[in-house]
Structure 1
Amino acid sequence: ASHRFPSFIAKAGICDIRYIHRYFQTHQGIWQLGLTSPGGAGRNKTLNQSDFLDIQILLPPFKEQERIADIIDTWDEAIALTNALIKALQQRKKGLMQKLLTGEIRFPGFDDAWEEVRIDDVARVNPPKPKNLDENTVVSFVGMADVSEDARLTTKESRPYSEVSSGFTPFRDMDILIAKITPCLENGKGALVNGLDNGLGFGSTEFHVVRAKAEKTFPEFLYYHTVSHNFRGRGELNMVGSAGQKRVPTDYVRAYRFPIPTLAEQKKIIASLSDADDGINLYKLYVTELQQQKKGLMQQLLTGQVQVKGMDYVRVLHK
C-alpha cells in the first residue's frame, strides 16, 4: 500500500480497533488528528505518526469498548439496509417509469392512441427572461451545485434581479432545468423547479430550460421524460464540443421525440410516479434521521458524555 496510509494494530484485550476508528470520526478525534498533521491546506497535510501515537484519548474498559462499537455498528447496519432498500425502490421506479412513459403499461379506462411529438411541439425551450422586471425584485439563483444527481432542486439563493439580470439563464416556477454539459448531464443533474422567490429564477448558463405548454402537457410529465435513461443516453451521444467541454445542443432538446397520451392519462401517470417518489423520499428522510442519531451517539459514547452501564472511563496515553 502507499506510504501515505500508515497502518496501526490494536493491542489485544486493551483496545477494540472499531472503537478507535469511530473515535477519530468524532469532532474531538478529528481535531486531534489535525493537531498531529502539520503542513499546508489540502493534500500537503501529513499525519505525524509519532505525534499520533502520543494522542491521549478517553478509553473505557475493553468490554465497554466492544459494547459501544456494537451499538454504533447496529446503526450502520440499519443505514446500510435502508440505503439498499432505497436503491431497490429506485430501480423499481425506473422500470415503472419506462413502461408508463412508453405506453407499455396502460391504466384501465384509457385506450386512446398516443401521439408522437417533439419537445418543441409541447414546450418552449430556453424561453427569454421576463420583461420590465424591477431591479430590486428578489429572485432565486440556482447553480449547478444546487441540483442533485437525481434531478432535484436541493438549495437556492435569494438575490435581487439587478445582480442576475445579465449573463445567467432565466426560468420560472414549474420550468424544467436540464444540465447541458458533461458529465453533469450523464450524472442526472437537473430539476423541476418550484417555490422560487416571486416565482422567478436565474441560474447557470449550463442549464437548458424547458417550459411546458399548458394545453399540451403537464410539466411533471415532461420532467419525467427528461430524466429518463433514453433522453439522457441519447443526449450523451448527441453532445458537441471538445473533450471535457462537450454539451448537449439546444436542437437536440427541441427535436427529441416521445409518445404522449391525453392530459387525463398523463395525470394518472404523474400520480403513479409521484407516489413512487414519495416512498423513496420517505426512506431517504429515515436514513438522514439514522445518520443524525448515529452522529449524536458517537459524540456522546466515544467522549464519555454518556456511559454504558456506568463504567468509568480513564484517560490513557495511547502509545
Structure 2
Amino acid sequence: MQLKQGCLHRSKKTSGQQNLTIELCKKLPLPLPSIPEQKKIAQILSTWDQAITATERLLENSQQRKKGLMQQLLTGQKRLPGFEGEWEEFLIAELEDKGWLKLGRGKVISKKDIENKPGQYPIYSSSVKNDGLMGAYGEFMFDEELISWSVDGGGNFFYRPKHKFSVTNVSGYMRLDIDRLSYKFLAEQLAYLHERQAFNYQTKAHPSVIRKLYRVKIPSLREQQKIAQVLAVTDAEVAANQVRLECLKEEKKALMHQLLTGKRRVQVETEAA
C-alpha cells in the first residue's frame, strides 16, 4: 500500500490523470513474504506499537501530575514543609511600580537578517510549538535568565534559563529583581494563570494588557525557589517521556523501512513435517 501511495504521489500530474496513475500503480510488484513471515513482522511491529502506547500514557500521566502540582503549589493550596504565612498578591503593574520587574518587547528579525548572519543562537517567537523556537541567528539579544511571552496570538509564557538568545517583536520579555522574585516560579504561575485567560489573534497580549490583567500570588523568595525546584523535577520527567516517545516512533519508522521492504528478514520457525 505504501508503495502504491508513493507511486501515486510521484506520478500524478493533474486530477484528470489520477485514475490512470492508480491503474499503473496496481501493476507494480509488491514484495510479499510468506504468511508466517508476514505474521512475524506484524508481531514485531505490534510490540513497538504497544511500547509507544504505554509511553504515551506515561507522558500524559506526567503532564497531569505537573498540572496538579501547579494548581496546588502555585495557589498556596498546598504548602511545602517548613513554610507558612500569608502570600501577597500583586498586579504585574504593581510589581513593575515597586521595581521588582521590568517589561520589554523583542525586535524585528527578518528571514533576510537570518540569511545574512547565520549562527547558532536561538530565536524565540510567538509560536507555542517547540517553546516558541523559530530558528537560529548569528547575533543574540540576551545572555541571562528571563521570562518571555507571546504578544501576538496566544499570550503564552515561557521560562528562559540563562543562555544566549533573542526574542522577536511579537514577543515580550520580563527581567526580574532576583532578590525578590524567582524566574522559574513567576513563569510557572503566569503560565498557570494564562490557561484561564482567553487570548486569540485579535486579543493581543501587549505589555499594557499584561500589566493590568495578571494578579500573581507571591510567597517568600525561599518558598518560591523551593516550589520552582519541585516543578523543575516534574518538567524533567515530562521531557524524558517526550524524548522516549519520539525515539520509539523513530525506531518503529526505521524498522518498518527495513522489514516491509525485505531489506531485513526475520527468522520464522518452520513446522515439523
TM-score by length of 1: 0.69
Tell me how large the CA RMSD over aligned residues is. 3.0
Number of aligned pairs?
252
Q: State how far apart, in whole Å, the 1-side matches of 2:178 and 2:17 are.
A: 56
Query: What is the aligned counterpart of 2:80 among 107, 112, 117?
Result: 107
Partner of 1:234: 197
Letter matched to residue 276 of structure 1: T
Partner of 1:17: none
Q: List aligned pairs for 1:29-44, cutoff 5 A.
A: 31-39=6-14
Partner of 2:254: 296
Q: Aligned-pair distance for 1:249?
A: 3.1
1:9-35 deviations in whole A, cap 9, x for unaligned?
Answer: xxxxxxxxxxx4xxx1xxx67643423
Partner of 1:250: 207
Partner of 1:270: 228
Which is further off, 61-70 or 94-103?
61-70
Partner of 2:110: none
Partner of 2:160: 193
Residue 217 (1) aligns with residue 156 (2): no
Matched-pair contact (CA < 8 Å) for 1:178–1:226 = no
Residue 141 (1) aligns with residue 123 (2): yes
Q: State how far apart, in whole Å, the 2-side matches of 1:93 and 1:215 are.
A: 26
Q: State how far apart, in whole Å, the 2-side matches of 1:127 and 1:36 are.
A: 49
Query: What is the aligned counterpart of 2:37 among 56, 60, 64?
Result: 64
Report 1 or 2 for greater relative contact order, CA contacts < 8 Å, sequence distance ≥ 6: 1
Partner of 1:77: 50
1:253-293 deviations in whole A, cap 9, x for unaligned?
Answer: 12311111111101110111111111111111111221121
Partner of 1:98: 71
Residue 173 (1) aligns with residue 137 (2): no
Identity across matched positions, percent: 27
Local SS of the residue matching 1:34: helix
Q: Aligned-pair distance for 1:310?
A: 6.5
User: In the superposition, relative to structure 1, how do residues 195 and 270 fare at CA in structure 2: closer, same or farther (>3 Å)?
Assistant: closer
Query: What is the aligned counterpart of 1:259 among 203, 217, 221?
Result: 217
Letter matched to residue 89 of structure 1: S
Q: State how far apart, in whole Å, the 2-side matches of 1:72 and 1:148 are.
A: 29
Q: Aligned-pair distance for 1:66?
A: 2.2
Partner of 1:10: none
Q: Aligned-pair distance for 1:294?
A: 0.6
Letter matched to residue 141 of structure 1: I
Partner of 1:202: 167
Letter matched to residue 9 of structure 2: G
Matched-pair contact (CA < 8 Å) for 1:178–1:208 = yes
Which structure is higher in helix share? 2
User: In the superposition, relative to structure 1, how do residues 66 and 83 fare at CA in structure 2: closer, same or farther (>3 Å)?
Assistant: same
Q: State how far apart, in whole Å, the 2-side matches of 1:81 and 1:154 are.
A: 28
Local SS of the residue matching 2:216: strand
Matched-pair contact (CA < 8 Å) for 1:140–1:159 = no
Q: State how far apart, in whole Å, the 2-side matches of 1:202 and 1:89 are.
A: 29
The gaps in structure 2 that reach 5 residues or longer are 108-116
Q: State how far apart, in whole Å, the 2-side matches of 1:56 and 1:226 are.
A: 58
Q: State how far apart, in whole Å, the 2-side matches of 1:276 and 1:119 are.
A: 26
Letter matched to residue 178 of structure 2: A
Matched-pair contact (CA < 8 Å) for 1:75–1:294 = yes
Q: State how far apart, in whole Å, the 2-side matches of 1:286 and 1:221 are.
A: 27
